[in-house]
Structure 1
Amino acid sequence: MILSDKTIIELLNNGELQIDPIDQEQIQPASVDIRLGNHFLKLDENKIEAMTMTDEIKYISFECNEVIIPPNSFLLATTKEYIKLPKNLTAFVEGRSSIGRMGLFIQNAGWVDPGFEGEITLELFNANRLPIKLEAGRRICQLVFASMDQEASNPYSGKYQGQRSSTGSRIFLDIDK
């Protein structure tokens, strides 16, 4: 079940759901607007011939309050907010329609597991033929919360738990059989 603004406020007030910092204006009828942070990662194309799932990917890390994403370019960004989900709540990350209409696609694999805590790394892609300028602190995406039928028996505790900035792919740490 998707949570309403009333339930979101209730969970924030009793501490079950934590979003820091948060302003009342961010709470929408069935979501919470999330703002762009000021930490970014871009692929270090000079250090990589081809990306693989078994080798660590090299990134260039930088902080700024304004960033320009060139046409047809990819950038990792972080949220301003630190999120902490309880064991019985999951969240979907959705790009804001107004941002999508500019040609900016926002992803994060679309899903935040119960028990996750940290800043959310956003995958930004400029599908436009013009550069897009973004400002830290501006609303860029939404979190839509859904309650689960019961608490997760194994809440999230993976390789991105507790992240405090944009975090590059850690797929090389996966142990696939």
Structure 2
Amino acid sequence: MPLSDREIWMKLEAGSLVIDPMPDVTQVGPASIDLCLGAIVHLFKDVPPGFGPIRLKEASPTRIVDFVTETWDLRARPLTLNRGDFAIGYTNEDVQLPTHLSARVEGRSGFARLGLTIHNTAPTIHPGFRGKIALELHNNGHMALQLEPGIIICQLIIENLGRPAAAGYSGVFQNQSGPTS
């Protein structure tokens, strides 16, 4: 069951849920926390002609840097995400979940109505996760969209587990701050 705003504030104030920088009162909604887009975005390049299919059985998500064309620092210049473009962005905030909480990252309805997807199929943030949350940014709309650092890009829904997880997350994306190689 998702935590309410009151429960979110209790966890933040007790230090069991850590979000850095700490959200202000305008970022905590009735059952979610608004998070901002960080400064670095990685835009995927078009696949060159004749490039074979990626065998998912052998693909390594940690080799993402091999597939990005350009790293954008949005502080220097905004990124225009054209129709069909796909990029990986990260939240400005670092999130740290204890073993008794999990979370989901979701898009914002106003941006969704413009065609912006925040995640493809990976909204889950496991108990014990620490780091910036990766955002799978895809423009499914008919207009180009401009990405700038600091915009409220997504919402985090925090959920209480019935019992703490036996072990917290310890996968390859632990402590991520950008693409893992």
Category of TM-score, reference length = shorter chain: 0.7 to 0.9
Match of 2:12, SS state, is helix
Q: Distance in 1 between matches of 2:110 and 2:72?
A: 26
Match of 2:170, SS state, is coil
Give deviations 1:154-174, integer Å, cap 9, x for gaps.
Answer: 210100000112x26x7xxxx
Residue of structure 1 in register with 2:133 after alignment: 120
Q: Which deviates further from its counterpart, 95-104 or 47-56? A: 47-56
Cα RMSD of the aligned pairs, angstroms, is 1.8
Alignment of structure 1 residues 28-177 onto 2, 5 Å: 28-45=29-46, 49=51, 50-53=53-56, 54-55=58-59, 56-57=63-64, 58=66, 59=68, 60-65=70-75, 66-107=78-119, 109-165=122-178, 167=179
Q: Distance in 1 between matches of 2:169 and 2:48?
A: 32
Q: Distance in 2 between matches of 1:140 and 1:120?
A: 11
Match of 2:135, SS state, is strand
Q: Distance in 1 between matches of 2:41 and 2:27?
A: 22
Residue of structure 2 in register with 1:174 after alignment: none
Aligned residues: 168
| Stretches of 4+ aligned residues off by more than 6 angstroms | none
- From the superposition, tell whether residues 146 and 96 of structure 1 become closer, same or farther in structure 2 (CA, over 3 Å): same
Give deviations 1:79-106, integer Å, cap 9, x for gaps.
Answer: 0000000100000111010110111111
Q: TM-score, normalised by structure 2?
A: 0.86
Q: TM-score, normalised by structure 1?
A: 0.88
Q: Distance in 2 between matches of 1:45 and 1:98?
A: 28
Residue of structure 1 in register with 2:18 after alignment: 18
Which sections of structure 2, spanning at least 5 residues, go unmatched?
none
Q: Distance in 2 between matches of 1:51 and 1:40?
A: 22
Q: Distance in 1 between matches of 2:74 and 2:91?
A: 13
Q: Identity across aligned pairs (percent)? A: 36
Offset, 1:46: 6.1
Match of 1:153, SS state, is coil
Offset, 1:45: 3.6
Q: Which deviates further from its counterpart, 51-60 or 87-96? A: 51-60
More strand by share: 1
Match of 1:8, SS state, is helix
Which sections of structure 1, spanning at least 5 residues, go unmatched?
171-177
The residue identity in structure 1 corresponding to 2:142 is R
